Amino acid sequence: MSELRRAVQADAEAIAGVDVRAWWHAYRPFLDEQRLAERSTEARTESWSLRLPGVEEETWVLEVGGRVAGFASLAPSRDADAEAATGELLALYVDPPAQGAGVGTRLLGQAQLRLGELGYDAATLWTFEANGLARVFYEHHGWVPAPAAVGNEACEVWAPAVRYRRELGP
Ligand SMILES: CC(C)(COP(=O)(O)OP(=O)(O)OC[C@H]1O[C@@H](n2cnc3c(N)ncnc32)[C@H](O)[C@@H]1OP(=O)(O)O)[C@@H](O)C(=O)NCCC(=O)NCCS
């Protein structure tokens, strides 16, 4: 049994667990371990408690067997060069044991649908340059590289990142 639903504040700890496990699993090969270790479940739970349920930002979770298997967050684009009609996929994370089973595809589909319903014509996302699996995944789902000019590196705090874009709607 699975359920796709909007996240509520009570989901903060479960989302933080997925967030931290997915970061370790996917990013350990190229991110600094010391900095990864500072991204604790406790700290992330606190941060998610403040973000949920969100007003401009929406987070969706997919529960499988009563557990949060993954989540996706969306909001208006944070990029300096973004037009008003551009939304952003802020995050998409699937718990490592649940990866490769369609959870990410369902969450991405829902995020794209919601961004369209909210009136955005297009959306962008940032992902680490070295995150090959995710890049192939996004390209498979119609996202194309959209290089950003200097001053847009919102997500470059940890490592070099690349921007992708997708038109929304029918
Ligand atoms: C990238 C990610 C969101 C994809 O979600 P997912 O649930 O694993 O993806 P799905 O099962 O829906 O589809 C993945 C597709 O790529 C392949 N794939 C991608 N990542 C995979 C993985 N870790 N294990 C197995 N297959 C994977 C699958 O074969 C599948 O191909 P198909 O659509 O042709 O069948 C997820 O792997 C993840 O959270 N990765 C780590 C964090 C991350 O990089 N997030 C993106 C940040 S911008």
In the chain, how many domains are there? 1
- The torsion angle over the Cα atoms of residues 86, 110, 131 and 51, rounded to 10 degrees, is 70
User: What's the token pair of residue 78?
Assistant: 């944070």
Residue 81 CA, ligand 1 centroid: distance in Å: 29
Q: What is the crossing angle of helices 41-51 and 12-27, to 10°?
A: 130
**CB-ligand 1 contact for 62 (6 Å cutoff):** no
Whether 97 and 25 have beta carbons less than 8 Å apart is answered as: no
Residue 137 CA, ligand 1 centroid: distance in Å: 6
Would you state the pLDDT for residue 156? 64
Would you state the pLDDT for residue 51? 96
What b/e readout covers 41-67, taking b as 16+ CB neighbours within 10 angstroms?
Answer: eeebbeebeebbebeeebbbbbbbeee
Does residue 127 belong to any structural domain of this protein?
A: no
Backbone angles phi, psi at 22, to 5 degrees: -70, -35
**CB-ligand 1 contact for 137 (6 Å cutoff):** yes
Residue 144 CA, ligand 1 centroid: distance in Å: 17
**CB-ligand 1 contact for 92 (6 Å cutoff):** yes
Q: Residue 31 sits in which domain range?
A: 2-119
DSSP summary character for residue 153: -
CA-to-CA distance for 106 and 125, rounded, in angstroms?
17
Q: pTM value? A: 0.94
Does residue 13 belong to any structural domain of this protein?
A: yes
Does residue 143 belong to any structural domain of this protein?
A: no
Measured over the CA atoms of residue 16, residue 17, residue 18 and residue 21, the dihedral's sign is positive
Residue 133 CA, ligand 1 centroid: distance in Å: 7
Does residue 155 belong to any structural domain of this protein?
A: no
What CATH number does residue 49 fall under? 3.40.630.30
CA-to-CA distance for 158 and 39, rounded, in angstroms?
12
Listed in sequence order, the DSSP H helices in the chain are: 12-27, 33-38, 41-51, 103-117, 132-140
Q: What is the mean pLDDT of each run of 10 residues along the chain (170 residues)?
A: 96 98 96 91 96 95 98 95 93 98 98 97 95 97 90 73 90
**CB-ligand 1 contact for 101 (6 Å cutoff):** yes
Does residue 165 belong to any structural domain of this protein?
A: no
Does residue 98 belong to any structural domain of this protein?
A: yes
Whether 83 and 165 have beta carbons less than 8 Å apart is answered as: no
Query: To test the ligand 1 pocket, which listed residue (94, 103, 106, 126) has its Cβ within 8 A of the most ligand atoms?
Result: 94
Would you state the pLDDT for residue 155? 64
**CB-ligand 1 contact for 104 (6 Å cutoff):** yes
Whether 164 and 92 have beta carbons less than 8 Å apart is answered as: no
Does residue 156 belong to any structural domain of this protein?
A: no
**Residue identifier of the C-alpha nearest atom 4 of ligand 1:** 104
Block residue for tokens 């990029």? 79
**Residue identifier of the C-alpha nearest atom 37 of ligand 1:** 99
